[in-house]
């Protein structure tokens, strides 16, 4: 049985993009909110990640946009070192998840609160988007997330690999550093370059400036918890190729 791997953070913190990157590796098979409803209902269990069940998406598992978007899924499962799912608001369900999966590995992606709030607001203001949460909801979720993760015990934190949104997509070397921390071989830079290039394009995209939002975020963001989590980020690793896995 592969080891369980879960990805979380907050909405608008790059979890979907990171799933797409992780699934580039032949030894990882991770869903895009594959079990959204099971996590939300605190009904997720190890049985959901056994091969036949994991590959069988049923009504009541997820929403219209959730699932497993990887080709040759049976073969990928057989080759997987890690199998899991991403669920951004997992911080609200950690008691259940940590109890059901005591040996799981977690990746937590941390993005600065201003960008999270602005991303919430941009989607909220987009008339072609059905997003219903404004920047206030984004800041509240971000504060809740960082506070709950920062409050975990040292033993619980040992299960987490922390990733900085602003760093992970910067280059193929930064992405490969994550695979190294997971004990996996590195991928060819050419495979990862499109993800870094896409991030560079998004990073240069202008969003409407709202100084009132920025001031409110500056006043109300839980900077103490943010700094605590930033301190848990590992130092950058050199891009190395490992044999074995």
Per residue in 205-227, pLDDT tens? 777 788 999 999 999 999 999 99
Q: How far is C-alpha 56 from the geometric centre of its chain's CA atoms?
A: 23
- Sheet bearing 160-164, strands edge to edge: 28-32, 82-86, 3-8, 105-110, 160-164
Name the residue among 129, 96, 111 with its Cα closest to residue 18.
111
Mean pLDDT, the chain, as a whole number? Answer: 93
Prediction pTM value: 0.93
Name the residue among 52, 2, 32 with its Cα closest to residue 184.
2
171: number of Cβ within 10 Å: 19
DSSP secondary-structure letter at 235?
P
pLDDT recorded at residue 244: 43
What is the maximal distance between C-alpha atoms in the chain? 52
User: What is the rounded CA–CA span in Å between residue 133 and residue 199?
Assistant: 24
In sequence order, the 6+-apart residues with CB closer than 8 A to the CB of 60 are: 37
pLDDT recorded at residue 201: 85
The model's confidence at residue 204, banded by pLDDT at 50, 70 and 90, is confident
DSSP secondary-structure letter at 243?
S
φ, ψ for residue 67 (rounded to 5)?
155, -155
- Kindly tell me if the per-residue pLDDT of 154 is higher than 60: yes
Sign of CA dihedral 182, 187, 193, 198: negative
pLDDT recorded at residue 236: 57
The model's confidence at residue 202, banded by pLDDT at 50, 70 and 90, is confident
**End-to-end CA distance of the chain, in Å?**
15
Answer for the pair 21, 175: CB distance below 8 angstroms, yes or no: yes
């Amino acid at each position: 049985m592969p080891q369980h791997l879960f990805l979380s953070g907050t909405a608008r913190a790059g979890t979907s993009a990171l799933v797409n990157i992780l699934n580039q590796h032949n030894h990882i098979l991770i869903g895009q909110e594959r079990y959204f409803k099971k996590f939300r209902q605190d009904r997720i269990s190890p049985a959901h990640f056994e091969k036949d069940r994991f590959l069988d998406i049923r009504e009541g598992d997820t929403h219209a946009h959730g699932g497993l978007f990887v080709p040759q899924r049976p073969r990928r499962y057989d080759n997987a070192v890690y199998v899991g799912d991403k669920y951004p608001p997992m911080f609200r369900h950690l008691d259940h998840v940590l109890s059901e999966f005591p040996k799981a590995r977690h990746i937590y992606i941390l993005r600065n609160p201003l960008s999270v709030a602005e991303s919430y607001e941009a989607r909220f203001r987009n008339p072609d988007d059905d997003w219903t949460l404004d920047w206030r909801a984004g800041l509240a979720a971000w504060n809740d997330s960082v506070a709950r993760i920062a409050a975990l015990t040292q033993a619980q934190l040992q299960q987490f690999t922390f990733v900085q949104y602003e760093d992970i997509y910067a280059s193929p070397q930064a992405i490969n550093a994550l695979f190294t921390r997971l004990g996996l071989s590195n991928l060819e830079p050419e495979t990862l370059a499109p993800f870094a290039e896409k991030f560079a394009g998004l990073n240069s995209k202008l969003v409407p400036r709202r100084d009132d939002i920025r001031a409110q975020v500056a006043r109300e963001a839980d900077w103490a918890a943010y700094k605590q989590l930033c301190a848990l980020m590992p130092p950058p690793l050199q891009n190395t190729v490992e044999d074995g896995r």
